[in-house]
Every structure is written in structure tokens, then in C-alpha cells.
Structure 1
Amino acid sequence: MDDKLKERIEELVREKIAVVPYNPAWPKLFEDEAAFLRRKLPQNIVKRIEHFGSTAVPGLSAKPIIDILAEVSSLEETKKQIVPILEAEGYEYFWRPAFGDDGPPFYAWFIKRNSEGQRTHHIHMVEADSELWDRLYFRDYLLQFPTEAKCYDELKRKLSEEYPIDRVKYTEGKSGFILSVTKKAKEYYESQN
């Protein structure tokens, strides 16, 4: 990893974490961004676009960043064709490991910011077979079971107070809960079929 990239990543992980009450505008912000992506990006590469993460769960507090999961037919074509388009639109691009370590699998990750420099959107571009799609089980389970959503809400608030400028610790603190609920959700939804 070159020094410039390392510096960019270090800046990202030190950005302040602000967990705020649910904003009913978040679904519209997702819809607007998804429509923009569908208009701007090659349709032969970008397949489906989903809203996930806490901003996709009504009533759940969240960092005010819209998380978008986009299926792409090829990560190589994403690098060649989509990265230049989104960078020209002001998005920051990272080739990111899927599981927080430095190893594969990787995916294309984009950050969009507002005029004040605050993150507004994260776009995670993955292929159809990526395990990141399991995050939709987590989202759907929180939508269906408000008691689980409330527990997650409380955990995130606590972690954001404990680690206001340490995204790594904040994320690590959520991981056990997310993995446990995702496993339970996957079993639940697969048993329904």
C-alpha cells in the first residue's frame, strides 16, 4: 500500500462518528442516489441497487450516511468503467477488503460528501456471489424484529460515545452483534422458503 493511500485511509478512520436519530428523509436520499447511479453508470455492469445499513431501518439511529449495496457483473469492469465516472462526479474511490483485514475478497467502495466535506453516501459495489449480500438478511431482520433493532440502536449509541473518533474500534464493537444477528436472520429466512 503506498503512503498516499495509507494517509487517506488513516484520515477516514479518524473522522468523527456521529450517531443521530432516524431521519425520515433517508429513504428518499437513497432513491435519489440510486436513480442517479442508474442514469450515470453502464447498465450492463450495474445490476441491482439496494439500501442497507441503519439508514434503511425506520426508527433506527444511524450515522447519517446512506449505505448502498450495488451488484456489478464484474469488479474488473467496475475499475475500468465506473471508477472514472464516479471520480469525475467527486466520489472518493477505494479498493477495499470485504472483511476489514488486508486480504481478499475485495470490493469497490465509494464515498460521496456534501459541500461541508461530510460523508453522505457509501456505495459498496460487489459481484452477485459476495458475502456482503448477507447484510440484507441483517437489514430485513431488524425491519421485522424491532426488539433486535432497539438492541442494535443502543449498542451503536454506546460505541459512538466510547469511540467518537475511532471508526475501527466502533466497527469492531458492532461486529459481534452484526455477525450473530446475521447468522440468526439467515437461518430464519432460509427456513421460511
Structure 2
Amino acid sequence: MGAARQPVIVQEYDPSWPGQFEQLRARVLDALGDLAVGVEHVGSTAVPGLPAKPVIDLDVVVASAEDVPAAVERLAGLGYQHEGDLGIPGREAFRWPSGSERHHLYLCPRDSPELARHLRFRDHLRAHPEVAAAYARLKLDAAAAHRDDRDAYSAAKSGFVEQVLRAASAS
């Protein structure tokens, strides 16, 4: 069953998620060497206590857009399949290697607006537990209402996400 057809399942926070991220991070850093300037744990699994779909999101950061082609090539050596930017400039998406646990890997230059967005959202939720709690309720409700429609699930969260990003930019 492809990811697009799998039901939306949001589960309670799993304290093993940071460790899963660290394993992925170490593997990617080993392959990329000096091309990577960082690997960030983003998405809901990066916020302690926040319910999430059990899929780790990581942003691999390179110094500039000029480093992207070489990084794409090295990630392919690990079995990652490059999917392009999927309509989001400044963020290259990859399908996880066959035989590994499902996760989302994105490659971003350090100055990518999408990277900044991911970090701003994550950091705001980490710093504001009341906002994270409201987001948790929204995610659980949206998953229940849109179990078989990932696009509708995402759309149900988008207004809240934009509101959080505006608040994070203002602070």
C-alpha cells in the first residue's frame, strides 16, 4: 500500500522518536561528510509530548544551492530516491530507502525559506506548550475526521500552522 493510500494515524508521542532521528542523522551525516552543515529533526515527532503520525521528518542542510546536486548524488548512494521539490522551491524531497523505516527526508540550502519555516514552527511549538496542546487536539480531531484523506487532513491543519508561523515571526 503506497503512503498516499495509507490511513492517517496520529498516535501519542513516542519517546523513541528522538533516538530514531539520531540514527537517521548519523547515517546521513556519514554519507554527506562536509557537504552537510546540519541535520534538523522537524515535524511533529520533533516536539516532545506532541501526538504525531509515526514518521520522522528530517531536513538535511547544505551551505548553498550549489551543493544540492552533489548531496542528491550521495543520498542516492544510501538508496534515497530524489523526487524533486514537489512544488516547494528550496526543498528537495526524497523517498526513503527500500527496506528502511518510513521517514521523510528533505534537502535544503541553509538560506531556504522552507527550512526557516520548518524550524520556526517546531521551535514555537517547543517553546509554547499551550500552542502545542491546541495543535495536538486539532491533529487528533483532523485524523479522526479525515482518516482516509491525507489532503483533507493537511488542509484541516493549514490555517492553524499559518497562524503559528505568523505568531512565531512576530515574537
- Shared fold per TM-score greater than 0.5: yes
| Structure 1 residue 15 corresponds to structure 2 residue 15 | no
For the 8 Å contact 2:117–2:165, the answer to whether it is kept is: yes
Displacement of 1:170: 1.4
Equivalent residue number for residue 71 of structure 2: 82
Report Cα offsets for 1:60-115 as digits up to 9, x if no partner: 00011111112123445433x3334333433332112454xxxxx25211232674
Q: How many residue pairs end up in the alignment? A: 169
Report Cα offsets for 1:139-181 as digits up to 9, x if no partner: 1111111111111111111111222232222112111111110
Equivalent residue number for residue 91 of structure 1: 80
What's the TM-score, normalizing by structure 2?
A: 0.86
| Structure 1 residue 181 corresponds to structure 2 residue 149 | no
Which of 19, 27, 34 is the equivalent residue of 1:28? 19
Which of 83, 96, 115 is the equivalent residue of 1:112? 96
Displacement of 1:28: 0.9
For the 8 Å contact 2:86–2:93, the answer to whether it is kept is: no
Provide closer, same or farther for how the CA distance between residues 139 and 106 of structure 1 changes in structure 2, counting only shifts above 3 A.
closer
Q: Distance in 2 between matches of 1:76 and 1:41?
A: 14
Provide closer, same or farther for how the CA distance between residues 173 and 76 of structure 1 changes in structure 2, counting only shifts above 3 A.
farther
For the 8 Å contact 1:134–1:186, the answer to whether it is kept is: no
Percent identity (aligned): 34
Provide closer, same or farther for how the CA distance between residues 118 and 48 of structure 1 changes in structure 2, counting only shifts above 3 A.
closer
Provide closer, same or farther for how the CA distance between residues 98 and 147 of structure 1 changes in structure 2, counting only shifts above 3 A.
farther
For the 8 Å contact 1:52–1:69, the answer to whether it is kept is: yes
Displacement of 1:123: 1.1
Equivalent residue number for residue 39 of structure 2: 49
For the 8 Å contact 1:163–1:169, the answer to whether it is kept is: yes
Q: Distance in 2 between matches of 1:98 and 1:152?
A: 25
Letter in 1 for 2:138: L
Q: Distance in 1 between matches of 2:37 and 2:58?
A: 13
For the 8 Å contact 1:47–1:73, the answer to whether it is kept is: yes
Provide closer, same or farther for how the CA distance between residues 63 and 134 of structure 1 changes in structure 2, counting only shifts above 3 A.
same
Q: Distance in 1 between matches of 2:61 and 2:48?
A: 24
Unaligned runs of 5+ in 2: none
Q: Please tell me the root mean square deviation across aligned C-alpha atoms, in Å.
A: 2.1
What's the TM-score, normalizing by structure 1?
A: 0.78
Q: Distance in 1 between matches of 2:11 and 2:97?
A: 17
Aligned-partner SS, 1:41: helix
